[in-house]
Chains A and B, each alone.
Chain A
């Protein structure tokens, strides 16, 4: 963790925002190297009960709990600091802002928990003329829409509701905590309601930051990156639901048109990432709330990689003048091979570099924890009965493992499983295989055969335990959780380097 890295304020808008954040969290848990001293996710979703969002928040909290018990000299799992916005308040009243904001990853938008749009904007108390204008811009259905479920593909309503953001304590606090080199990244989808609306609105409010905000000038010229996720899944046709897959593309085109005139076209962003896919799977339609919880998708992981890419751009290339990016980037994502079922082999070199080593290491760790840990502790293996800090039989029952790590891993495995069954699928790992050399789908390490040619270079739990023993012996005395994680980090480095390194070139 290099303190000279900038902070990253990561705005995740709507369901897609939450899902990409989840992917990022797993990458960071695996130890992927993000050039950020802190990641401050700010989830914007008026749909309080959104299943995707709730799951992501649970994972983030878990991540924090795990991370708080670890050290990062010997271990890079969970290395990146993920913090809530509120946590940036200084304990020192002199340096603090004095603002009281909720300690949550989610930005709580006032007045959106319940109530309908017309109440929200005070339609009934407007002048007749303004009511007529409102009627022109919003249909009766719009006006009667319950806000707690998002905007149901009506981003024009979102653009009003979400605009509270600019007046909120959180936004003001965010502005005050914006450091000189800190960066902003915005994740949203273009075809929903919340994401599509919040994104341009946020950009407009950053670039047009009013004098009321501290650091407003810094904000206007801050390095702002964004990914706009275009459709990659559909919704099964269902007449009773307002979200309609058939119009996803049409909506996307309308919004892209709008962006080209009023967002990307006017250099508001330093970097704009586009992604989307025509190979799509239909989900059952859901109108927000807890039902809106879809399988994870590789596109979300690729989107998360855009954040690594953005953070890798040198500061000098992200300059702004008068709120306009001097040399904006526009980026797209490519894979190798247009396959319906992807493996890690389909990733480009850079993606492999960023993601494959850490994910493989973490997958190996999870594999062991899931299948051999109990046995290794009870038997016990040498590394567990260590002279230094033994890992005893109660380790797995204790809070760290049972309450946090095991739960986090369940989500991690779920994430992999969901991506593997989605369309397009990313089948990264055989996460539970005892034949550990086959843990990466589509890649088996090879060794030169005695008789010439190549044979699979087999890897079993004995080899694994061997490496664990070797690494354990090198580690200093640490608290048991720290030591435990370090043992696995170090030994999976060994395993990866000895077996899988050729995959990432």
Chain B
């Protein structure tokens, strides 16, 4: 036992006098009960432990008493607490306010009515009823008769009960004047009763002092008119007293008025008179009888008036509004004494900053009638979104910022950031009344209708002037501060920093015709913002929702490692403004569209869809001159892509903007820019994309920054589109990818046409194809181009196809080409195919095509695995690049390449793509503009003696084959060969002479040996275009413009180079002209190529070729002419070339057979098949020799 002090077992602390049962002086006093510490004090749970059927009535007594006591002891700021008691008090006051404004609520068809419960009558009814009724009645009577000390049942005859839609809301009480019905789970809030921003019966208890003054004045007036009430409704009166303190502190002026007019009025009869004149009897119970608080004390109500105020001084002036009664626009503290509600506006009228009721259910502030009015929160959002970068005010309405520092792009890499990038915090409702243009306008007295003024260091004050009928302006003003919570009821706005950007591709229209992709990129990934789920909606001038043609999501910040979400909307209708929401806050975006004049110039578009690179060129017909083909260039002031962020800044995080650029379009495109034409043939798509539903430019697109910046994470890339196998299945992946690439090319062309004043309705699309593409693919491409041209250019577009081989010829000037007496050959060496045209008299005579092009050198031979990196050149140069990657500087390019061991970047691609990247470093803007020197793949290759031998074989093989073909066609030795295409670069690598005279010399010797006669006196020369890729497109355009589209030529396939069927009858099918064997006119299909003799002959053919070339070294030193290796090494390389010829031939044939149907006619010679493998093997050997 710790001590021997007595301890009385009770709940409150007090004297511990005695042990055992011992007397105390009286029952537990009120004070003692109050001293019992309640662990649940402040709980929101209602208390139900009063042992009387009238517990509900007593409960409100306790509540008023508790709240009043609490205010007395803890301060009147406790009146705003949210305990169960405060809730009860608030609910009872809600009931009271409905009583007081019953007329008003009645107008809003709330289905309210009164039920009068007459004590005498109803108890008698019950007692006459069944046993349950009787017991109930007798019990009520027992308690009503006995419990009069505080509750004064004896003072009333009736309870007045208020019913809404057959549910009880509350009623009168003899002790607290009013009580509310059970409101568990705030169920009564569903009736949406309320005044101003106070929703009745909700979870936000509202103390009396915050309620309307007319209502408060009524309560005090009633008590002052009938002072006895103070002793009979003690608890309510105590609450009213506590309320006065709060009123004096928070609404001093109201408090003073109340004092002057009512409370401090010495002359009681004056109070009574005032009360009776100010209010009218509340005779809305049954049969227009009155409602009595106690016997002889009749409730009164506010006088109501209810008219149309559409032409009142405060009615908003709006031509646009079509919503019925014209709302008033009201402003707290508005000083001018305009007429208002059949009286005069008082500047102290409290206008709630926020009214949760629909317009037609609103009660006019300071009055008691239902009429729509507008307040700040109707037009201004509670939060203003601020983006973390300078906004491009050239393209987006910026809300007329004042006092901010504007971002300055010349302040360094990121410029000097401003602090003005606030989005428009306007509600959609604003546009019910005003057009977007209103925001840029001025009032009649020259003020801006709308502006956003700097407030404090991080805040902004938004001011919106609203014209009203009187000719005045109501100002809706809201200050938004950082690091505060928005409280629209207090008109306190919050600044919310948002990390999103918008991209519009493009932001111009012609006569409101729109073809646009809008992208929203969301990088809100902070713990407090990561749940933001952005959404954009588009609206027209008249407030109509403009539905996008489609919406797609690409990156997902919650799923993908880029931590950015991108959402795309495909717009084909004009809209005036956008509504952007992150799920919590929202803003309005008003783009400044550029209106393009409808163009008049006829235009031609040529697209060269290449294996590795593609190109697009346009020409505009103006006047009578010959249109000059030109490449697409996007200038900064003619951008197709407009972002919300200024184009010269980066966003934070950078990927927010980068995802837009890397999937949709670069800002600029051109020779000295980061992106230029020709561009790589590649698409990227988000992982797991549904190809059947894919939309070009959204979830599949061209990564314009490929080789310059890294591809996006969680995206897959695809090259080699041109030769990708396509099925007829819906949703075929390769089909969708190819389609996406071509679509975006045409989209770019379309935008350029519009910018340059071209007429889409007078448009010709020219697409080029390689002769070796095969029949099936040609048909497919034809259909596709026709369809896409209609989709992206116009319905009236003319679509034409031109052979890739033929086109470049027309890109040369007339002075360059001499095809009068001797043939001139144009050899277009792409990545995948070489296409050759034989011209005589500027006229194409023959064409041939073979898949012996750039990728034979730079790819993986017959290793078809996409990501294989076994190419010898790749291996030779790889370490040099990888070492360079590890050095500092040139961030984006190196990131694009990736690092060993990283799962992203070009480093994971195949040899052809990697080699392409190696070459691209020479034209890389980032490298060019940095002080870091990048290794040159071209320089490197030109120094490789062994590799030179391979180039010689490559070049010679083409010359050798073509010479045989010409000879078989009974053509004289050619005068010129023009080389175009990316593969033509190999000639430059081989021959450092800028006019390729060494290569020409080699070619001449080969031709002489094939023809077995000396060259004609005009001689032979080679022309390699400085920009070989463009030649195809430019030539194609020239062809069309010069009307040379329909010139006939013959397609030739010389199956074997050497064999001459006239001399050797065992080779009956060596020359195919226009698909038919020259000897018997039959069509030769791939399934016919099984003859072992044929394979042997082809193999021998190649051997003879190799012997011939290496023989030439004796008279035409490779070492001297090309700095190639010599001696034993040369022989070693030759021996390697001769290895495995047969198996390589078979491999090539097999792969071809896999790609075409066996019945398809043969379209290419077999001569090159063994060489593809040989060259690969030799490069492999060279790399191995070098230890790579």
Binding site for B on A (CB under 8 A): 111, 119-123, 125-130, 132-141, 153-160, 163-164, 167, 190-191, 196-201, 204-205, 208, 230-232, 244, 246-247, 249-262, 264-266, 272-278, 299, 302, 305-306, 309, 329-339, 343, 345-351, 442
B20 near A266 (CB under 8 angstroms)? no
Minimal Cβ-Cβ distance residue in B for A199: B51
Residues of chain A contacted by B27 (CB below 8 angstroms): 259-260, 264-265, 272, 330
Bits for B115-144, please: 1 = Cβ < 8 Å to A, else 0: 111100010011001111101101100110
Contact of B20 among A154, A251, A334 (CB under 8 A): A334
Q: Is the CB of B132 within 8 A of A119?
A: yes
B36–A159 CB distance below 8 A:
no
CA distance A465 to B22 in the complex (A): 41
Decide if B8 is an interface residue (CB 8 Å cutoff).
yes
Q: Can you pick out 6 interface pairs between chain A and chain B where the beta carbons lie within 8 Å of each other?
A: A123-B132, A136-B168, A156-B54, A252-B49, A256-B36, A299-B9
**A332 CA / B24 CA spacing, docked (Å):** 7
Complex-state Cα separation, A135 to B166, whole angstroms: 11
Determine if B19 is an interface residue (Cβ-Cβ < 8 Å): yes
The minimal Cβ–Cβ distance linking B156 to chain A, given in whole angstroms, is 13
For B, the interface residue count at a CB cutoff of 8 angstroms equals 83
Given A253-B33, A336-B6, A338-B5, are A155 and B129 also a contact pair (CB < 8 Å)?
no
A134-B136, A200-B51 known; 16 new pairs, CB 8 Å cut-off, are A122-B130, A129-B117, A160-B136, A232-B9, A246-B45, A249-B38, A251-B49, A254-B49, A262-B146, A265-B149, A278-B11, A332-B8, A333-B21, A338-B3, A338-B7, A348-B20
Rounded to whole Å, the gap between the CB of A305 and the closest CB of chain B is: 6
Across the two chains, which residue of chain A brings its CB closest to B43? Answer: A246
Q: Are B24 and A330 in contact (CB under 8 A)?
A: yes
A155 engages B116 (CB within 8 Å) = no
Chain B residues within 8 Å of A256, by CB: 28, 33, 36
Residues of B within 8 A of A (CB): 1-11, 16-30, 33-34, 36-41, 43, 45, 47-59, 62, 115-118, 122, 125-126, 129-133, 135-136, 138-139, 142-143, 146-147, 149-150, 159, 161, 163, 167-168, 170-171, 179, 181-182, 184
Q: Which residue of B lies closest to A201 (CB)?
A: B51
**A332 lies within 8 A of B163 (CB):** no
Known: A153-B48, A273-B21. A334 touches B6 (CB 8 A): yes
On whether the beta carbons of A350 and B20 are closer than 8 Å, the reply is yes
Residues of chain B with a CB closer than 8 A to A122's CB: 129-133, 136
**SS class of chain A's interface: helix, strand, loop or mixed?**
helix
Most interface-central of A111, A262, A302, A329 (chain B CB within 10 A): A262
The interface centre, meaning the residue of B10, B55, B57, B58 with most chain A CB atoms within 10 A of its CB, is: B55
In order of increasing CB-CB distance, the 7 nearest A-B pairs are A348-B19, A251-B49, A122-B132, A264-B27, A156-B55, A348-B20, A139-B182
B43 neighbours in A (Cβ, 8 Å): 246-247, 250
Which residues of chain B are within 8 angstroms of A196 by Cβ–Cβ distance? Answer: 49, 51
From A121, A264, A350, contact of B21 by CB (8 A): A350
* A336 with B7, Cβ < 8 A, contacts A156-B54, A347-B19 known: yes
Q: B184 to A139, Cβ gap below 8 A?
A: yes
Chain A positions within 8 Å of B138 at CB level: 163
Question: Which residues on the B side are within 8 Å of A201 (C-beta)?
Answer: 51, 142
A201 and B140 alpha carbons, distance in the complex (Å)? 12
A336 to B8, CA, bound (A): 9
Knowing A135-B168, A247-B43, A334-B22, say if A156 contacts B50 (CB, 8 Å): yes
A249–B37 CB distance below 8 A: yes
Q: A260-B33, A336-B4, A343-B1 are in contact. Are A254 and B50 (CB under 8 A)?
A: yes
Measured CA separation A230–B38 after assembly (Å):
13
Contact check, A331 vs B22: say whether CB atoms are below 8 A apart.
yes
Residues of the B chain whose Cβ atoms lie less than 8 Å from the Cβ of A157 = 53
B26, chain A: closest CB distance, angstroms = 6
Query: How far is the CB of A356 from the nearest CB of chain B, in Å?
Result: 12
Contact of A258 among B9, B52, B163, B184 (CB under 8 A): B52
Please indicate the chain A residues that have their CB under 8 angstroms from the CB of B143 in the complex.
159, 204
CB < 8 Å neighbour of B129 from A126, A163, A230, A278: A126
Cα separation A45 to B762 with both chains bound (whole Å): 97
Inter-chain contacts of A247 with B (CB < 8 A): 40, 43, 45, 47, 49
- Contact A125-B28, Cβ < 8 Å, known A160-B135, A351-B20: no
State which of A137, A164, A302, A343 has its C-beta within 8 Å of the C-beta of B135: A164
Beyond A244-B45, A346-B1, whether A333 also contacts B56 by CB under 8 A is no
Q: A129 contacts which chain B residues (CB < 8 A)?
A: 115-118, 122
Contact call B11/A335, Cβ cutoff below 8 A:
no
Task: For residue A246, give the distance in angstroms from its CB to the closest CB of chain B.
Answer: 4
Instruction: Given A136-B159, A159-B53, A230-B10, check contact A251 B135 (CB 8 Å).
Output: no
A260 and B30: CB pair below 8 A? yes
Contacts A247-B43, A330-B26 given; does A253 touch B38 at CB 8 Å: yes
Alpha-carbon distance A123/B18, docked complex (angstroms): 51
CB-CB under 8 A from A331, the residues of chain B are: 21-24
Q: State A452–B538 Cα separation when bound (angstroms).
A: 105
Q: A331-B24, A337-B1 are known contacts. Are A132 and B135 too (CB-CB below 8 A)?
A: no
Q: Out of A258, A264, A442, which one reaches B50, CB within 8 Å?
A: A258
Please report the C-alpha to C-alpha distance between residue A258 and residue B50 in the assembled complex, in whole angstroms: 7
Of A154, A163, A205, A254, which is within 8 A of B62 by CB? A254
Q: Are A137 and B53 in contact (CB under 8 A)?
A: yes
Distance of A204 Cα from B141 Cα, bound (Å):
12
Partner of A158, one of B22, B51, B168, B179: B51
With the chains together, A156 CA to B29 CA distance in Å? 22
- Partner pick for A137 among B23, B55, B126, CB 8 A cutoff: B55
Closest-by-CB residue of A relative to B33 is: A256
Question: Of A132, A159, A198, A337, which is in contact with the most chain B CB atoms at under 10 Å from its CB?
Answer: A132
Measured CA separation A139–B53 after assembly (Å): 12
The answer to whether A337 touches B52 (Cβ under 8 A) is no
Known contacts A132-B168, A265-B149, A336-B6; A125/B133 CB under 8 A: yes
Q: How far is the CB of B693 from chain A (nearest CB, A)?
A: 46
Alpha-carbon gap, A494 to B7, bound state (A): 33
Q: Return B35 CB to nearest CB of chain A, in Å.
A: 10
Question: Given the complex, which residues of B lie within 8 Å of A306, measured CB to CB?
Answer: 21
Complex Cα–Cα for A81 and B5 (A): 37
